[in-house]
Amino acid sequence: MRIDKYLHDQQLGTRSQIHELIKQRRVTLNEQPVKSFKQGVDPLQDRVIVDGQVLGHQTEFYYLMNKPMGVITATTDLSQTTVMDLLSKDDFRSDLFPVGRLDKDTTGALLITNDGQLAHQLVSPKTHVAKTYEAHVTGTLSNDQIQVLQDGIELKNGDHVKADSASIVGQSGHETNVKLQLHQGKYHQIKRMFGALGQRVVQLHRAEFAGLGVTDLSDGNYRALTDKEIELLKNKTSAD
């Protein structure tokens, strides 16, 4: 692995910032100043020091993406753009994968990681992490209909689904904007819930996943999670 790629994985800055660190001789490899950002490093064997601090080897990575419309939630696809295609060359790793699934026409918060254990716990029915959605649906819905979403609906296949909370946030013409929070994760759950009310979801956005929101991210952008956010995610799953 190149030293600049390794330092970028350690979240020490952008590639250009890391190159500047190396130019200023602030990075040493096995007690020798690094002179080229192309220099090779073995994170498991070599000793890397930046400004006097010994670096550990980061093996797990966590990114929060604001998934745009028209992109599929998959690791690879021969004909369609996937969420993995939106990662930069510096951040892409072959072991990264999206946690859970958002439909091609659904936007919003999507976690991407290579931490398989955490990913499994986050989507496990036993854990039930909270997810917040903003749904733009057909029809002028009433408060009584919104209450039905919270009381629970039995779908045609026998699934019993419900929202933890639901509220109307706006109405225009013959369409309604609804905010929902739920822990369940049934297939096409929100679309099927509104379908049971005789309406259709026009647009669906996941505003938050397990407490992580994407208001600071434009469509298609992503960021690395902070250490505090990673700790909070792990605490959510261990607590349940």
Is 51 noted as a catalytic residue in this protein? no
Bridge-based pairing of strands 153-154 and 222-224 is unpaired
Residue with tokens 């649906």: 137
Query: In angstroms, what CA-CA distances link 98 with 183, 189, 222, 235?
Result: 18, 19, 12, 20
Q: Which two tokens stand for residue 234?
A: 């792990």
Q: What is the C-alpha separation between 32 and 37, in angstroms, rounded?
A: 14
Q: What is the C-alpha separation between 62 and 109, in angstroms, rounded?
A: 13
Q: Where does residue 202 rank: exposed (0-12), middle (13-18), buried (19+ CB within 10 A)?
A: middle
Catalytic residue among 103, 105, 216, 227: 103
Provide CB contacts within 8 A for 210, sequence distance 6+: 111, 122, 129, 130, 131, 233, 236
Positions marked catalytic: 103
